[in-house]
Structure 1
Amino acid sequence: MTDNTKRLQLNLLLTRPLAGSEAFWQALPGEVRSLVVPIFSPLIEIKPIKSTPNIEGCVIFSSVNGVENSPLGDGRIAYCVGEMTTNAAVSAGWNASQVGETATQLVAVLAALPEKTVFTHLSGTHARGNIAQLLSAAGHYTRRIAVYDQLQCKFTSEATEANASNFPLLVPLFSPRTALAFAEQDNGQAPRHLIALSEDVAAPVRKLNWSSHTVCAAPTRGTMIDAVQKVVTSMTLG
């Protein structure tokens, strides 16, 4: 018979859209999943925009959601931020290349292209990085077209209860918008441990009361998994 006593002492709040949260949970090592209780409470809901984008030139994808809510690639060229976005674009039929791990890195590479290029950035309604503006300023005509919206959601009752409990609560945050949604609803007393994908993600919640504060070494799912594992290990062994 499994002893769940220790597991109940450490909660893991998963705030990404449900599919992304479930995928992240499954990607965690089994030893980590055996030590924490997952609480699924998406703070952002992805809502497709039902229109066909008028794509000009090469496409830019800065998120998996952008890929999933866009037309199939049919072999067209796409420049992508991050490995997961690139893999999703390849699966959707795009001739996709990864250009950096962040929007800043992508802009730096594409802005330096010697030939003037036309780009279409397919993104969410709320997009960071000013990709279109910066590339246009560098001489590459770029339009941004929103193919999905990000609707803010409230905490589930389970998340509210966990946030108000005395049990430690791990909070991995993947985007500034999700972090802002968390900050706007925060009223908990649980000893909480922030694990932010980047400094930009940490910024909206930095002033909240945290028992510990971790920023990933690089903005990738792999480094987030490593960071969560390190925090869990330090808490269960410490």
Structure 2
Amino acid sequence: MVPQSRALPVLVTRPEPQASRFARALLDRYGKRVAPILSPLLAPVFLRPDLPGGAFGSVVLTSETGARAAAALADRLPHRAFCVGDRTAEVATALGFQSQSAAGDAESLFNLLLAQRDAAPFLHLRGREARGQLVTRLNAAGVESQEAILYAQEPQPLSPEAIRLLTAGGPVIAPLFSPRSAEVFRRALRDQLQGADPAGRLRIAALSPAVAAIFTDFPPANVSIATAPTLEELFLALDRFIFIA
């Protein structure tokens, strides 16, 4: 394959610190082929809720932000943690939890918890916006579980640099990691670009089909979907836009 002759702008909309870490990973993989532009569209706000009563065997963590929020309550929580993916498990381990990764998505985590029901009751520590109804499904399967909301991801506007990029000419690559971030991005495109339609220039690299579903009105050639919800598979989806055959 032949690399692009100029750096392609990659709009990084993840919250911090994930945004800066992902920008470094882009540069490590693609070098001068890409120019990351950071414009986090979500910012965490940590809450201090009353936790459900009772003795829990393990906590369940579905994001690294959740792991950081849980660490602030570590003296009130069990130390065993089941995590949706490797990065969440790495962060939880560094914060003092004994972590096990489901190495996948919410469905993988659900199946892991069913297989580890001896570690229940489970306490799912999550953000305000969540998908998958994990606790409801576990209880329906006879696995005692409760949840607590430890943080909210508040929408942020596109940065001035991102707006200039999206209203100028040329392609823009946008990797997106969750349906929530994709929805916030679509609203920002509608509300902040003053009628400009970047659909023909945007290249969406979606971590999952649920993310891609937010962009069904885009040209199919402009949406690339990772075959599994991992960073490596997302990079393979990005390769389609960053290299040309």
Q: Distance in 1 between matches of 2:19 and 2:141?
A: 37
Question: Do the aligned residues in 2 keep the contact of 1:192 with 1:210 (CA within 8 Å)?
Answer: no
Q: Which residue of 2 is the match for residue 159 of structure 1?
A: 162
Q: Distance in 1 between matches of 2:17 and 2:143?
A: 35
- Extract unaligned runs of 5+ from structure 2: 190-195
2:203 is aligned with 1:196: no
Question: After superposition, what is the alpha-carbon deviation per residue over 1:100-157, rounded to whole angstroms, capped at 9, x for unaligned?
Answer: 4011111123224464820000110111111111111111111111111011111111
Structure 1 runs (4+) deviating above 4 angstroms are 72-75, 112-116
Post-superposition CA distance 1:157-213 (Å, at most 9, x none): 111111111111001000110000111122433611110000111112222457521
2:27–2:34 CA contact under 8 A, matched in 1: no
Measured on the aligned residues, the alpha-carbon RMSD in Å equals: 2.3
Residue equivalent to 1:105: 108
1:10-68 Cα distance to aligned partner (Å, 9 max, x none): 21100001311110011124462412222111111111113464573210011111001
1:77 pairs, out of 68, 77, 80, with 80
Quick one: structure 1 residues 116 and 227, their matched pair in 2 at CA, closer, same or farther if it must change by over 3 Å? closer
Q: For 1:60 and 1:207, locate their aligned partners in 2 and report how far apart those are by CA, in whole Å.
A: 35
The alignment partner of 1:70 has SS state of helix
Letter of the structure 2 residue corresponding to residue 215 of structure 1: I
Q: Counterpart amino acid of 1:224?
A: L
Q: 1:172 to 1:52 in 2, by over 3 A?
A: same
Counterpart-to-counterpart distance in 2, 1:76 and 1:31: 35
Aligned residue pairs total 229
CA distance in structure 2 between the aligned counterparts of 1:114 and 1:176, rounded to whole angstroms: 29
Contact 1:79 1:97 in 2 (8 A): yes
Cα deviations across residues 213-233 of structure 1 (Å, max 9, x unaligned)? 100111112222333244212
1:47 is aligned, of 45, 48, 55, to 45
Amino acid in structure 2 at the alignment position of 1:153: Q
Q: Distance in 2 between matches of 1:52 and 1:169?
A: 43
TM-score by length of 2: 0.85
Contact 1:52 1:71 in 2 (8 A): no
Query: 1:64 maps to which residue?
Result: 64
Q: Please point out which of 209, 223, 245 is paired with 1:213.
A: 223
CA contact 1:183–1:208 (8 Å) conserved in 2: no
**Aligned partners of 2:88, 2:153: CA distance in 1, in Å?**
17
